[in-house]
Amino acid sequence: MLNNKDIIIFGAGPSGAAVARKKAEEGKQVLVLENKDVVAGNLFDYKNDKGIIVHKFGPHIFQTSDEDIISFVKRFANWKEFRHKVNVVIGDKEVPLPINFKSIDILFPDKAEMLKQKLKETFNSDVTYIMDLLNVEDEDLKELGKFVYDNVFENYTVKMWGISSEDIDQSVLKRVPVRLSYDDGYFSDKFQAVPTTGYTEFIKEMLNHENIKLKLNVPVDLLEIKDGKTFIDGEETDKEVIWTGAVDYLFRYSKGELPYRSLKFELETLELDSFQDRAVVNYPADPSMTRITEYKKLTQQEDEETLLGVTTIGKEYPGSYDKASKDFSIPYYPVIKKDGLNPADVYFKEAKNITNLKLLGRLAEYKYKQMAQAISDALDI
């Protein structure tokens, strides 16, 4: 299997596929080994029986301002650009998220002008973050900060991460700013888009190169580390190995299991033109659900005539990853706390001594990265 191969990559998600493509274009012979019977990892999507593209593992929007990454991804798919917008339900109101001047107008009609004026004067910027808003001196803004913290961040974060907003690494919360303008976009990147034929096809196209050999249904335990050396199917190898799976599994949990968050999705197909105003609506106050995605709004299929009168929604429920559980057996997110300590460091220390091994991607690097970052890191390896 390894004959004539220069690099062996474990995992055909975005990280594995991007690094495979890069090495293949450099003239290397690349072998990609994937445990599942499909590619794309947690980007996997499919067309359901109504013709709606469903993102099986949660809503994905590609966003970046990096020109090199934009050019790279455009080679493997046609993209429909759109500005992702999200609403959040607070009490009996549904307002744009990130909280912005429009949200403030709806939530506090009597005080909105005063609050917006004070926000502009205090921050002198287009954007701030919840923890900064909580720490201002002005009593009205402090109250606003407390309101946003209680109604948008705290419950959602406890559900999502199993810990309070105060204990999670603050870069996680900074993904959702507070905007001091009427800009109601969820992201601010120049390029925000979805591939017209879906992410699975995009990843397949990336892997479609004469120097890449892809094997599916490969046993997950094929790669083993023993005494600081790499073994594939029981044979020691000094070829370059790139691992994109969970780092604790690679070392067979020798230093303990790492915490991950997992997700469960409940899909429903409804006989409606439209279920909600936005592709994604968040429900911080719901006891267990975080958000609802209406897929045809996300995949920009709303205009397809065959989809009139039908729509598919996905309700998202987070939980603690447990490989033996029915609903939460897939690791999605590493849990990085505010203390700055990365629980995976014990494994990184061991991996560093194995010169032919590289860890790449969200699960292997134990890092909360989004798609463009995963691809950028893979191209930089």
Interface residues with ligand UDP (CB under 6 A) are 88, 97, 152-153, 156-157, 160, 172-173, 175-176, 282, 284
284 vs 334 by CB, closer to ligand UDP:
284
H helices of the chain, where? 14-25, 67-74, 101-107, 112-123, 130-134, 139-148, 155-161, 170-173, 199-207, 247-250, 295-298, 345-352, 371-380
173 vs 359 by CB, closer to ligand UDP:
173
Q: Give the Cα separation of 308 and 86 in Å (integer).
A: 22
| Shortest CB 236 distance to ligand UDP, Å | 39
Strands 291-294, 311-320: pairing kind = antiparallel
Strands 45-47, 30-33: pairing kind = unpaired
| Shortest CB 261 distance to ligand UDP, Å | 9
198 vs 284 by CB, closer to ligand UDP:
284
| Shortest CB 299 distance to ligand UDP, Å | 16
| Chain residue at closest Cβ approach to ligand UDP | 156
33 vs 89 by CB, closer to ligand UDP:
89
The DSSP secondary-structure symbol of 185 reads -
176 vs 359 by CB, closer to ligand UDP:
176
How many whole angstroms from its chain centre is CA 65? 17
230 vs 282 by CB, closer to ligand UDP:
282
| Shortest CB 332 distance to ligand UDP, Å | 8
| Shortest CB 108 distance to ligand UDP, Å | 18
214 vs 246 by CB, closer to ligand UDP:
246
Residue 291: name the closest of 89, 154, 149, 29 by CA: 89
194 and 298 Cβ atoms separated by less than 8 Å: yes
Q: Give the Cα separation of 37 and 45 in Å (integer).
A: 13
| Shortest CB 372 distance to ligand UDP, Å | 13
| Shortest CB 60 distance to ligand UDP, Å | 9
Nearest-10 Cα torsion for 297, 299, 301, 303: 50
Q: Give the Cα separation of 229 and 242 in Å (integer).
A: 13
102 and 179 Cβ atoms separated by less than 8 Å: no
Exposure of 163 by Cβ count < 10 A (0-12 exposed, 13-18 middle, 19+ buried)? middle
| Shortest CB 217 distance to ligand UDP, Å | 29
21 vs 179 by CB, closer to ligand UDP:
179
